Structures are given as C-alpha cells and as structure tokens.
Amino acid sequence: MDIGMLWFDNDNQTNIQKKVERAAAYYRDKYGQKPNLCFVHPCMVSKNVSQEVDAEKTVMKSKGVEIRTSTAMLPNHFWIGVT
C-alpha cells in the first residue's frame, strides 16, 4: 500500500478489531471506498494471536480489512487504505 490514511486511536478500553472498524468507517465516509488493508505496530496485537509477530505479517482480519504488523508504525497509529 503506497497511499493510505493515518488514524490515531489510544482508547485502552477498545480492542484492535473495533479500532480498525472505526478507522475503516471513517475512511469509507471520507474517500468513498472500503479499505482492505491496515498496518499497526506489533505491540498493538494481543499476545494470544501470535507468539512472535513478524514485520508485515498478516495477523488477523476485521470485517474484510487485513491487519498486518509493521515496526515502521508507532503504537496507537493505524495506516489504513486500499491495496
């Protein structure tokens, strides 16, 4: 993904799937298309999903949005867009 929207969400009470859903809804309203890829920092992924999270590895999906980790991302930031 070369172009996307940077989203910040530091709500500790909400899980990552809900955060991605909120970002995807905003993206869809703003740009008129549904995102399908989101990058997050590895620390954002709960430990029960994967014992060891590799950079740019798909770790889960949330309502059609593939969630990948990247050490280039800051914690609580989401880079969401279309591949």
Q: CA angle at residue 79 from 75 to 80, to 5 degrees?
A: 135
Q: Kindly report the pTM of this predicted structure.
A: 0.85
More confident residue, 45 or 80: 80
Domain ranges of the chain: 4-81
Q: Which of 57, 65, 51, 52 lies closest to 7, judged by CA? A: 65
Instruction: Tell me the pLDDT tens digit for each residue of 47-70.
Output: 545 445 555 666 788 899 999 999
User: What mean pLDDT comes out for the span 32-39?
Assistant: 96
Q: Report pLDDT for 48.
A: 46
